[in-house]
């Protein structure tokens, strides 16, 4: 067994891009695998629910041309996780199609493994009935109705399906929804490096150069793992890893600084050591892995809840701003009075007041301050697009001409940056599953299909 193994992470998300010079610097270090995360739930439930990607296909193809050519030329695996953004079947198929297109354009052929993350609804229902599903934090209870209503229902796979795909001879692995560190940790774990260190390194590499200073989601990072720790190194001379930047990224998206749960176990970071290794590098050691009694995976589902229309306006009149809460409440009341025949349960009216509390809402500690201007977003969600359009138009026109105590002008209360002022947004999705499910076999829920794609395939 080699004393070290090297993983090249080209970008934070496939399609976010990277400088060619950084990528070439990474290739010069003779990596054993190129791995890239392609998705996240950060953009919200829309992309999972709709089956659409939040990355542009042309941008993804641009990245793939470099990654595929380099991996096949050097005979090393290319691993792609959470394909297409949310990792459901439509995303997976779209990503595989882009891989096939790039292979053909480059005149190359490769053995490509496609790993599905979509879950059988009947099996999820059985798991629910048998008490093998629990909420992930303080979220809603999962129900049979939510399982049935989910347009897509996926689970985050662990390293086992990716390793199995490599065992079957895959040169390129395109996986559906993955636990983020998986594609970075799979090859090291497969050849015998410590799981805890491999997963911790993967946790940082999945965001590539975001863990450097200055950080970037569109630049490369290198991880070199041995049997007692790993070293992180940015591949752009304008960046460096520092103890602070790497330790901070270890805390990224974590509620507990000492533990990081994942499929089958929890990383224990209590005794983690971060040390400057010179030349903008940082060495990390001391990570441990605690196996859980049962192997659990995170379920993610989304379902359609309605259709949305927005109107964006600016407010600068100080008397209007001073009475903003009362004015917005009156506009909402007048709307439901005017459309008394509509069930209020079919319509939701939301106001976002940027410059006052648009980001934090009721939690905003500075809400008592009166700003000199407010950016107002009128948001209406309804059971149909036409109803959302109608209600948004009425709320907007009501606010535009509403009289209020102390009003000095009748020319209009709002300034609109766009014409038309109302912007239909289409379907709205909410998460229908955000839970942990215990499974018996880490391979069974994630079927693997191996195929030869590309020129002459």
Asked whether residue 357 is assigned to any structural domain, the reply reads yes
The verdict on 17 and 136 lying in the same domain is yes
| pLDDT average, residue stretch 54-76 | 97
The verdict on 47 and 165 lying in the same domain is yes
Q: Could you report the per-residue pLDDT of 301-328, keeping only the tens digit for each?
A: 999 999 999 999 999 999 999 999 999 9
Asked whether residue 326 is assigned to any structural domain, the reply reads yes
- Per-residue pLDDT band at 456 (split at 50, 70, 90): confident
Asked whether residue 137 is assigned to any structural domain, the reply reads yes
* Residue 410 domain boundaries: 317-414
Cα–Cα–Cα angle for 417, 420, 426, rounded to 5 degrees: 110
The verdict on 25 and 66 lying in the same domain is yes
The verdict on 27 and 63 lying in the same domain is yes
The verdict on 291 and 363 lying in the same domain is no
Q: Could you report the per-residue pLDDT of 270-302, keeping only the tens digit for each?
A: 999 999 999 999 999 999 999 988 999 999 999
Alpha-carbon span 164 to 431, nearest angstrom: 30
Asked whether residue 124 is assigned to any structural domain, the reply reads yes
The verdict on 285 and 382 lying in the same domain is no
Asked whether residue 425 is assigned to any structural domain, the reply reads no
The verdict on 97 and 18 lying in the same domain is yes
Alpha-carbon span 112 to 283, nearest angstrom: 34
The verdict on 210 and 293 lying in the same domain is yes
How deeply is 3 buried, as exposed, middle or buried, from its count of CB atoms within 10 A (0-12, 13-18, 19+)? exposed
The verdict on 153 and 74 lying in the same domain is yes
**Which pLDDT score is estimated for 407?**
86
Give percent of the chain with pLDDT exceeding 70.
100
Asked whether residue 18 is assigned to any structural domain, the reply reads yes
CB contact set of 424 (below 8 Å; sequence gap of 6+): 307, 308, 309, 385, 388, 389
Residue 200 predicted with pLDDT over 90: yes
Token look-up 């020319």 returns 411
**Which pLDDT score is estimated for 286?**
97
The verdict on 296 and 246 lying in the same domain is yes
Helix/strand/coil (H/E/C) assignment for every residue in 145-156: HHHHHCCEEEEC
Alpha-carbon span 9 to 438, nearest angstrom: 30
Residue 64 predicted with pLDDT over 70: yes
Asked whether residue 307 is assigned to any structural domain, the reply reads no
From the list 138, 173, 137, the residue with the least C-alpha distance to 157 is 173
CB contact set of 304 (below 8 Å; sequence gap of 6+): 49, 149, 151, 427, 428, 429
| pLDDT average, residue stretch 244-272 | 91
Residue 409 predicted with pLDDT over 80: no
Q: What are phi and psi of 385, to 5 degrees?
A: -65, -40
Q: Are 31 and 222 in contact (CB under 8 A)?
A: yes
Q: How many domains does the chain have?
A: 2
Q: Are 232 and 284 in contact (CB under 8 A)?
A: yes
**Which pLDDT score is estimated for 1?**
65
The helix (H) or strand (E) run that includes residue 434 is: strand 422-439
Q: Are 98 and 38 in contact (CB under 8 A)?
A: no
Q: Could you report the per-residue pLDDT of 126-173, keeping only the tens digit for each?
A: 999 999 999 998 899 999 999 999 999 999 999 999 999 999 999 999
Q: Could you report the per-residue pLDDT of 203-239, keeping only the tens digit for each?
A: 999 999 999 999 999 999 999 999 999 999 999 999 9
Q: Are 327 and 399 in contact (CB under 8 A)?
A: yes
Structure tokens at 10: 């080209």
Asked whether residue 288 is assigned to any structural domain, the reply reads yes
The helix (H) or strand (E) run that includes residue 103 is: helix 89-106
The verdict on 382 and 438 lying in the same domain is no
Supply the mean pLDDT for the chain.
96
Lowest-confidence range among 111-120, 148-157, 358-367?
A: 358-367
The verdict on 37 and 117 lying in the same domain is yes
């Amino acid at each position: 067994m080699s004393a070290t193994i090297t993983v090249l992470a080209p970008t934070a998300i496939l399609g976010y891009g990277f400088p060619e010079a950084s990528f070439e610097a990474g290739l010069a270090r003779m990596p054993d695998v190129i791995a890239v995360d392609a998705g996240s739930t950060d953009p919200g439930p829309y992309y999972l629910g709709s089956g659409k990607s939040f990355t542009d296909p042309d941008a993804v193809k641009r990245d793939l041309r470099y990654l595929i050519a380099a991996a096949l030329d050097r005979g090393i695996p290319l691993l792609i996780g959470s394909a297409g953004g949310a990792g459901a079947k439509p995303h997976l198929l779209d990503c595989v199609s882009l891989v096939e297109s790039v292979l053909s354009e480059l005149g190359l052929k490769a053995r490509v493994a496609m790993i599905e993350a979509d879950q059988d609804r009947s099996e999820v229902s059985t798991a629910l009935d048998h008490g093998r599903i629990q909420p992930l934090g303080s979220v809603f209870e999962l129900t049979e109705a939510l399982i049935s209503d989910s347009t897509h229902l996926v689970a985050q796979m662990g390293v086992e399906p990716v390793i199995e795909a490599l065992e079957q001879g895959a040169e390129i692995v395109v996986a559906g929804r993955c636990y983020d560190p998986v594609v970075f940790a799979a090859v090291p774990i497969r050849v015998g490096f410590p799981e805890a260190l491999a997963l911790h390194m993967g946790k940082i590499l999945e965001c590539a150069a975001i863990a450097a200073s200055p950080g970037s989601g569109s630049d490369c990072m290198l991880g070199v793992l041995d049997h007692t720790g790993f070293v992180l190194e940015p591949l752009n001379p304008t960046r460096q890893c520092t103890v602070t930047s790497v330790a901070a990224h270890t805390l990224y998206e974590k509620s507990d600084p000492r533990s990081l749960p994942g499929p089958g176990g929890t990383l224990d970071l209590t005794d983690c050591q971060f040390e400057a290794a010179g030349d903008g590098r940082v060495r990390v050691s001391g990570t441990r892995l605690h196996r859980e009694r049962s192997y659990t995976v995170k379920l993610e589902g989304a379902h359609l809840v309605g259709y949305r229309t927005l109107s964006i306006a600016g407010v600068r009149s100080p008397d209007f701003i001073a009475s903003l809460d009362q004015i917005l409440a009156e506009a909402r009341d007048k709307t439901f009075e005017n459309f008394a025949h509509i069930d209020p349960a079919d319509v939701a009216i939301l106001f976002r007041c940027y410059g006052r509390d648009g980001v934090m809402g009721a939690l905003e500690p500075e809400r008592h301050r009166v700003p000199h201007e407010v950016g107002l977003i009128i948001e209406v969600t309804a059971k149909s697009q036409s109803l959302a359009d109608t209600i948004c138009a009425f709320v907007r026109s009501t606010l535009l001409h509403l009289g209020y105590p102390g009003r000095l002008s009748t020319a209009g209360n709002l300034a609109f940056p766009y014409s038309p002022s109302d912007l239909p947004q289409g379907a709205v999705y909410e998460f229908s599953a955000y839970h942990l499910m215990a499974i018996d076999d880490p391979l069974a829920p994630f079927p693997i299909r191996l195929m030869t794609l590309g020129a002459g395939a």
